[in-house]
Amino acid sequence: MRTQWPFIVVGSGIAGLSAARVMADVGPVLVVTKGPIRTSATQWAQGGIAVVMHSDDQPLYHFTDTIKAGDGLCNPEAVQVLVQEGPQRVAELIQLGAKFDRDTDGYSLTQEAAHSQRRILHAGDSTGKEIEKTLGNALLRHPNVTFLDHTTVTELLMADGECVGIAVMPSNQVGEPRCIYANAVVLATGGCAQVYHRNTNPSVATGDGIALAYQAGATIQDMEMIQFHPTTLYVGESDSKSSFLISESVRGEGGYLLNQDGQRWLLGCHPDAELAPRDWVARAIFAEMMSSGSPFVWLDLSHIPLDLPTRFPTIFKRCLDNGLDMRRQPIPVTPAAHYVMGGVWTNLSAQTSIPRLLAAGECACVGVHGANRLASNSLLDGLVFGCRAGEVAKGWVSHGHRPASNKRWGRQSSESTSVRRQLRHMMWEKVGIQRDEVGLLDAIQTIEEWLMVAGGFDFETFAMLQVSDLIARSALSRTESRGGHYRIDYPHSNAVAAHTMLIAGKNPVFSTTPL
C-alpha cells in the first residue's frame, strides 16, 4: 500500500464516512478502521437522527431545544450550523438511498426527551445501521476511497508543529508500526465509554482519537461531561464489555419508568417525567436504585398501542432472547455510560489546535452538545461536521516532511486485561454518575500509577488510561454540578458557565468562551 495520501480518515462511523465522501471528490482517501469496516457506534444508534423536516417545526426550535439541554456550555454558533445545515445533509443521505420509516403523511417522526417537536427521523430502531450501510456502500464503490481495516493508529506524526501522517499497526499488535503520510488527517474515532464497567458502546470505543490528539499536543475540552444513558437492559452482573441500549424512543412513544413498587415515581419529581433531560433521568434512576437496593428499575410498554415488534424490532428481539416479552411485561433497565460531550477541541470548520489535524463526531468537541447532549443530535453532529472537515481538508497540499515513528507498544497481555477490568470498575464507581473529591483523587492517583508503566501495555490499554485520566482530572477541577457532571460535594451550578481546557503537560484551565 502507498505511504503518501492526500487524505487520511481515522474511523468509519458517520463522521469519518461523511468526511471521506466529500474529500473523495478531489483525491484519494484512505479510511483506517480498528475493526471491520462497520463496527462503529453509528451502527449501534437506535433512536434516530434529529432534524427539522416538518412544516410545524423550525431550525429555531431545534436550536432552542439543543441550547436548553446543553445547560450553558453549548457554542451557539456551532448549534446554529448544526440545525441549519442538518436538513440538507440528511436530504443527501436520502438521495444516496437511506430508507427511513414513512407513514401516510410522509416521513414518520417521533419525539424524544427535551425535544419540543416530533423531529426524530428513524429506520425502525436501527437508524445508525441504515445510515452507515448507505454511506459505506457508496464509498465501497468509490474509486477514490480505500479502506484499511483491522488496523490501529498508534501515533500522530508531527513535523514543524503540524500533523503530517499516522503510525499504524495491525489490530492484533503483531509487527512494527509503519508510517503513512497525508496532506490532512481527520480523526473520527468515536467515543470512549468502554472505560466504564457499564456502557452502551462497541468494544472499539476506547478513546483512541482523543488520546492520540492529546499526546500530539492538541487542546482537549470538557472531558468530564459524560452522558449516562438512563435505560439499558439489565441482565445481571457481569464483566461484559457493553450493555444493550433501550432507545429513548421507547419512552418517546409512551413508555413508563416504574420503581420496585410499580409506581411512576418520576411524576412527582420532574414536570416532564420520563421525557426529562437524559442526565436528570439517569440520576433519578440511579438514586432510586440506591434507595431501593435494587440494581434496576422497570420500563413498562405494555400499555402502548403500537405494534412493538415492528416499531422496535431489534429491541423486541433482544428482550425476547432474554425471556422478556415487552408487549406484556415490564423490562429491567439500568443507566450506563453512553456518550462523551467533550473531546478534541475544534472550531466550526472541524480544525483542531494542530494544523492539518481535523476532528469530527464524538471524539471532537465543537460545542454543539454542551454539558448534556440533546437526544439524537449525535448522528447529525457527525454528518454535518464530518462534511465540514472534508471541505476544509480539500484545500491542503503536502507538507513534504516524512518523520518516523518513535513509539513502540506491547501486545495485550493478562496484565493489561486485568488493568482494563479494574479501570472500568473504578471509573464506574468513582468517576461515574455521582462524583466527589475523595473518589476522584483516589481514581487519579491509581490511573497515574498505571500510566507510569503504560509503555509496557498495548496502545489500546494506554488510550483507555489516558482518556480516563483526562475525565477524572477535568471532573476534579469542575467544582460544580452541570449537565452530565454531578458532584455530590458541589451539587449546584456556578453562576458563570466555563469550559474545561486540557493541554498535555499543563493543569486543567477554565475558559468562559470557546477558544
Asked if 377 contacts 82 with a C-beta cutoff of 8 angstroms, the reply is: yes
- Please give the single-letter amino acid code of residue 258: L
Asked if 13 contacts 202 with a C-beta cutoff of 8 angstroms, the reply is: no
- Grid coordinates representing 446? 491509581
Query: Could you say which DSSP state residue 384 is in?
Result: H
DSSP code string of 15-46: HHHHHHHHHTTTS-EEEE-SSSTT-SHHHH--
- Please give the single-letter amino acid code of residue 416: S
Q: CB 94: neighbour CB atoms within 10 A?
A: 13
Asked if 483 contacts 278 with a C-beta cutoff of 8 angstroms, the reply is: no
Instruction: Report angle CA 406, 459, 28 to the nearest 5 degrees.
Output: 75
- Please give the single-letter amino acid code of residue 486: Y
Q: H helices then E strands: how many in the chain?
A: 14, 21
- Please give the single-letter amino acid code of residue 332: P
Rg of the chain (C-alpha set):
22
Q: What are the percentages of helix, strand and coil residues in the chain, rounded to 5?
A: 35, 20, 45
d(CA 228, CA 509) in angstroms, rounded, equals: 25
d(CA 328, CA 302) in angstroms, rounded, equals: 5
- Grid coordinates representing 295? 440494581
Instruction: Report angle CA 91, 95, 101 to the nearest 5 degrees.
Output: 70
Instruction: Report angle CA 198, 254, 66 to the nearest 5 degrees.
Output: 65
Angle between helices 459-477 and 208-216 (to 10 degrees): 80
Q: Which helix (H) or strand (E) holds 232?
A: strand 226-233
CA 103 to chain CA centroid, nearest Å = 30
Catalytic residue among 21, 89, 278, 373: 278
Q: State yes or no: is 328 an active-site residue.
A: no
- Between the CA of residue 231 and those of 186, 198, 199, 347, 365, what are the distances in Å? 32, 11, 11, 33, 25
Catalytic residues: 278
